[in-house]
Structure formats: C-alpha cells, structure tokens
C-alpha cells in the first residue's frame, strides 16, 4: 500500500514539474480547453435561468368556461356546482356577464366603444383552477367540460407554454450536441499534447520497458498530466462563465429598476460545478489514455518486428 501511494505521489510530482517547465504552453492549452468548455456551459446556465424565469412568470394554469348567451342563472348555478364537485377542479369562480363587461371597460380603455354597444355581448363564465397542471390532464378536463349542456367554449391558453417547452427542449439538445463536439476537441487537445511529450521521451520509455517497467507505470504520469490539465481547463471554464454571469447581472440591474422586479442570473450550483470539473478531468484522462496506449502499442510492435539488417 505504501509503495502504491508513493508511486502515485511521485507521478503527481513529475506532472507538476512538467507544468512548471512549460508554463506558456500549459496556459495556452488550459485556455483552449476552458474556452471550449465555457461555450456549452454558458448555454446550459442560460437555459437553466430561462427555465427558472419562465416558471416564475407562469401563474397557475386555468380554464375559462364560457356559457351560452341564453343560459339562465339557475343553469349557471348547476354548472358551477358541477364544477366544484368535479374531482379534477380545485376552485371554480363565477364571473357574471355584467361584471365581465365592467372589467373589459376598465382594463382595455375602450369605454366609449363598450358604451355604444346595444347589448352586452359577453356570456357568463367560470374561471376554473384545476388540481392537476399537467397538459394531458388540462386537455382532458377541457374536452369533458366543453361537452356539458349550455357550455359553448372552454379556453385553455397552454399553447405558448408548449411552445416554450419545445424551444427549451431544442436548446437543450443544441447544448448537448455542442458539449459533445467540444468534448471531442478537449480529447484531441489532450491527445496531441501527450503525443508530443511521448515523442520527446520515446527513448526514455523504451529503456524503461527494457529494464522491466510495466505499462501502468509508464502510463501513470501521463494520465495524471491529462487529468490535471483537463481539471484546470474545467476551472477556467467555470471562471469564464462566472465572469460572464457577473457582467450580465451588472447590465441587468437597470432592467431590475425599470420593471421593479428582481432579475438576476444564477451561476452554476455546487453539483453542476463539481460535474463540470469531473467531466473535464475525465475527458483529459481519457485523451491521455488513448494517446499513451497507442504509442505504447507502437513501441511494443516495433520491438516485436524483426530487424531486416540482421
């Protein structure tokens, strides 16, 4: 156990020494990885904030049940009682036609037009708050109530919510595709970096294998290098997104004052931050593993091939 721990600590020491010997190249690689990861991460943060804003703006879903113009007060009362006894209805509020006309005059600024009407064109209505806010349950309740006698129309304004959800799904798909593409870019950067290091140390690796060094022993420092480089790139991406959120929140402060509401973008939470760092470190490790495994296989193949000069 002590020897195993010493080998890993020695690999970490060698990795830190390589970082220190090439600070400019290391910073450039970390910067490239950070920018590549910051783009999908920033899009993910934007989607999370947009979804949060959409949920905060959406009130409880409701249905507007419009009765026929010839419906009597007794018939409206029976429909109201039936709505309140329905298992899918949480609350049903009766809106008489006279009250609806007064609200129309007060809210639209069309008082003169409304006054010129020969009669009230608005029907009696009920504003229904359902118990289940799922789209399927809302549509089922709408279809059921619309078949009741003296009910002419049931309005469910959920189309915009469906369009918003469809747009968010599309944006999440785009973020996933972007993250996949840049993940390949991170693996490629790490693969190329490790390949250059192996080429400069090829003779050292061959001598190490001749004296009995195992593949895991040779591979270990390169894997640590790739994982730490990926981790540093993840930290850089986190910092870039954090700075972007801070700048945007400063610009949004004016909107907050104009609309008298709190508008503030949220940064990555602890779980998402840890996921980003683990993801970047894992990709760096994977790129290193691919590069080292390929070159070790080539070295082993070169040793097994017969020398044509013998």
- What would the pLDDT profile of 175-216 be if each residue is shown by its tens digit? 788 788 878 877 887 788 777 777 777 776 777 667 766 777
Q: Does residue 307 lie in a domain region?
A: no
Structural domain count of the chain:
2
309 occurs within a structural domain: no
pLDDT of residue 239 exceeding 90, the answer is yes
Residue 183: the pLDDT is 81
Cβ(284)–Cβ(228) under 8 Å? yes
Same domain, yes or no: 296 and 210: yes
State the Cα–Cα distance between residues 45 and 68, nearest whole angstrom: 48
H helices within the chain, ranges in order? 2-21, 23-57, 73-85, 97-108, 111-115, 135-146, 159-200, 202-210, 215-259, 270-304
- List strands edge to edge, sheet with 63-67: 89-95, 125-130, 63-67, 151-156
pLDDT band at 104 (very low <50, low <70, confident <90, very high): low
Confidence of residue 136 (pLDDT cuts 50, 70, 90): confident
Structural domain includes residue 308? no
* Domain match, 121 and 175 both: no
- Region 238-265 average pLDDT: 76
Answer yes or no: is pLDDT of 42 > 70: yes
**169 in the same domain as 88:** no
Start-to-end CA span in the chain (Å): 45
Q: What is the pLDDT of residue 307?
A: 47
Query: Residue 33's CB: how many other CB atoms inside 10 A?
Result: 27
Look at residue 178 and tell me if it is in a domain. Answer: yes
Q: Which of 157, 172, 200 is the last residue of a domain?
A: 157
Q: Which residue has the tokens 């290193």?
A: 288
User: Could you give the CA distance from residue 34 to residue 308 in angstroms, rounded to a whole number?
Assistant: 48
Domain carrying residue 105: 63-157
């Amino acid at each position: 156990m002590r020897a195993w721990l010493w080998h890993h600590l020695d690999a970490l020491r060698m990795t830190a020494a390589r970082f220190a010997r090439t600070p400019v190249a290391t910073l450039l690689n970390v910067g490239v990885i950070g920018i590549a990861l910051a783009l999908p991460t920033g899009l993910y943060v934007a989607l999370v904030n947009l979804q949060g804003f959409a949920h905060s703006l959406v009130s409880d879903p409701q249905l507007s049940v419009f009765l026929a113009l010839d419906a009597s007060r007794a018939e409206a009362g029976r429909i109201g009682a039936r709505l309140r006894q329905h298992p899918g209805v949480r609350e049903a509020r009766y809106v008489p036609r006279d009250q609806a006309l007064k609200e129309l005059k007060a809210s639209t600024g069309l008082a003169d037009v409304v006054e010129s009407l020969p009669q009230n064109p608005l029907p009696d209505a009920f504003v229904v708050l359902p118990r289940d806010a799922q789209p399927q349950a809302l549509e089922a309740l709408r279809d059921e109530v619309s078949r009741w006698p003296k009910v002419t129309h049931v309005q469910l304004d959920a189309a915009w919510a469906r369009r918003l959800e469809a747009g968010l799904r599309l944006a999440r798909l785009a973020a996933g595709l972007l993250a996949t593409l840049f993940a390949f870019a991170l693996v490629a950067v790490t693969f190329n970096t490790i390949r250059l290091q192996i080429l400069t140390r090829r003779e050292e690796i061959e001598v190490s294998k001749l004296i009995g060094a195992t593949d895991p022993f040779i591979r270990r420092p390169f894997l640590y290098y790739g994982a730490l480089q990926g981790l540093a790139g993840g930290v850089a991406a986190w910092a870039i997104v954090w700075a972007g959120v801070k700048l945007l929140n400063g610009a949004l402060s004016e909107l907050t004052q104009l609309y008298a509401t709190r508008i503030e973008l949220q940064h990555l939470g602890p779980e998402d931050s840890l996921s980003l760092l683990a993801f970047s470190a894992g990709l760096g490790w994977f790129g290193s593993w691919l590069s080292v495994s390929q070159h070790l296989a080539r070295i082993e193949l070169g040793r097994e091939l017969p020398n044509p000069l013998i």
